[in-house]
Amino acid sequence: MDKKRTAVIGIDGAPYRLMNDLSDKDVMPNFKELQKNGSFFKMQSSIPELSSVSWSSIITGNNPGIHGIFGFTDFIEGTYSLCFPNFLNLKSKAFWQRDSRKYIIINVPSTYPAQEINGFLVSGFVALDLDKAVYPSRFVSTLKKLGYRIDVDAQKGHESKPLFLKDLFETHKNRIKTYRYFWDKAGIDWDVFMFVFTGSDRLGHFLWDAYEDPNHEYHSEFLRYFELIDEEIGYIKSKLREDDALIMLSDHGMESVKTNVNINRYLTEEGFCSLDKDPKKNYNNVREGTKAFALDPARIYLHKKGRFPRGHIKTNEEVKLKEELIDSFSRLKMNGMPVIKKIFDKEEIYHGSYVEKAPDLILLPNSGFNLKGSVFKKEIFDKDIFTGKHTQEDAFLYVRGEADLPDSLNVEHVMNLIIGRDSN
C-alpha cells in the first residue's frame, strides 16, 4: 500500500479575501474546485505580520517568544547595531528536524542558510548565496541547470513595472520547473512536500493597486500571476493520491496602502525620542534622554538601562512609560482617522524563554496604515512606490477534507496539521 503523504503549498502574502474573490471570478478554477471538498479558513498572521516571523511560527508551531524571531532585523545585544536573524538563529526546531521522515522543502522564507535535512531543502528569501541555500549540496548544479532563482529582483520593481513583471514571471517559471522536478524526478521518496510561492508578496507590494482597479494597465498581469499559481494547484491536485493530504496557506494578508506612518517621527514629535542625523549611524543616532524608539514595522523598544548603552529607563519606570506611549498612540490620527487599532504588550502575546528579547510594545494598525520604523523621516505621513501592505487578520488556510481547528486560528496552529498524521 502506498504511504500517506502531505503536500503543502504556501502563497506568501495572499489574503483570504483575494483567494475567495479570485475563486468567485474563476481566475482560480482549480482552487474553486478544491474549496468544494475542503475546509477554507481565515487565519491570523503572527504579530508583527511579517514573513520572517510568520513562516518561523508556521514551521515550528511556536510563537516568537519560543522561536526567537521577532522581525527581519533585531538589535545585537547591548548595542544599537542591527543584525539580520536567519535560520541559525531560530531557537526551536522546524517540523522536518523533528522526525526521520523524508521531506522536500522548497522556498520557505527564513530557512537560510540550509541545514541538514532528510530529503532536500532550498531556502527562500532572504537567501544570499545559492550555494549555501541548498542541502544536500549535490543539488546546487541541478538547480543551476533548472535556472532556479531565489527571489524576484525587487530593484526592478523600483525601476520599471514591465521589467519587474518580466522578472516575476521568469522566476516563477523556473521555480515551477524546479518543484516539478523534485516532486517525482529527483529520486526522493518524500513524506512531506512543502513549496512556497513568494512572487505573490512582491507583486502585492508593487501592484496591489492593479488588483483593486480593473482599469489599471497591469490588472490582467496581476490576475495572470494568480492564474499561473492556480495551474500549479491543479497540477499538484492531479498528482496527489487519494489518501494524500493537501494543505494551502499564506503567512499574512495584503491590502492597499493609504499612507505610510513613520513611528519614530511621531515618537520624536511627542517627545519620546531624540535622534542625531548621521546617515551612517542608523540606530546609533539614538540620543541620551530618548525614552522609546521603533524598529520596523512597529516594534517599540523602551530605552532601558542595561539593555542599550545610553538607556536610562529603570524597571520601576516601565509601566508608567508604557501607559504614556499607549495614550500617545491612541491620539495618533490622520484626517481624524485613528491610525492604531491595537497595542500589545509583549507579555500579552509572547511566551517562552526569549520574551525578554522581544520588543516591549507592538502596534497593530487600522486598515490602510503602513507602519514604518525608519530613523530618518521628516514627516509622520508619507508615501513611497509600494501600493500594497501586509495585514494581520486576513491570512488563509485550506485543508482538503474536514479539518477540526480552533475558532481563533493562527499561524502557530498549522504545523500539527502538516506532521500530525501517521507521523510514526
We find the least distance from the C-beta atom of residue 390 to Zn ion, in angstroms, to be: 6
Q: Least Å distance between CB 202 and Zn ion?
A: 8
Residue 242 beta carbon to Zn ion: minimum distance, rounded to whole angstroms: 36
Q: Does the protein bind Zn ion through residue 360 (CB under 5 A)? A: no
CB of 418 to Zn ion, least distance (A): 22
What are the residues whose beta carbons fall under 8 Å from the beta carbon of 352, sequence distance 6 or more? 62, 63, 64, 65, 66, 67
| SS3 assignment, position 55 | helix
Q: Give me the residues paired with residue 325 across strands.
A: none
Could you tell me the smallest distance in angstroms from the CB atom of residue 204 to Zn ion? 7
The C-alpha atoms of residue 32 and residue 136 are separated, in whole angstroms, by: 37
Which residue has the closest beta carbon to Zn ion? 201
* Cα–Cα distance, 104 to 124 (Å, whole number): 13
Burial of 381 (0-12, 13-18, 19+ CB in 10 A): middle
Cell of 82: 542591527
Q: How far apart are CA 274 and CA 125, in angstroms?
A: 34
In angstroms, give the least distance from the CB of 317 to Zn ion.
36
Q: How many CB atoms lie within 10 A of CB 341?
A: 13
d(CA 125, CA 109): 5
Please say which residue, 49 or 270, places its beta carbon nearer to Zn ion.
49
Is 255 a residue that touches Zn ion (CB under 5 A)? no
Site string for Zn ion, 167-206 (x = CB under 5 A): ----------------------------------x-----
Nearer to Zn ion, 245 or 261 (CB): 261
* CA neighbor of 284 nearest in space, from 83, 82, 71: 82
Amino acid at 295: L
Under a CB-based contact definition with an 8 Å cutoff, are residues 265 and 379 in contact?
yes
Which residues lie near Zn ion (CB under 5 A)? Answer: 201
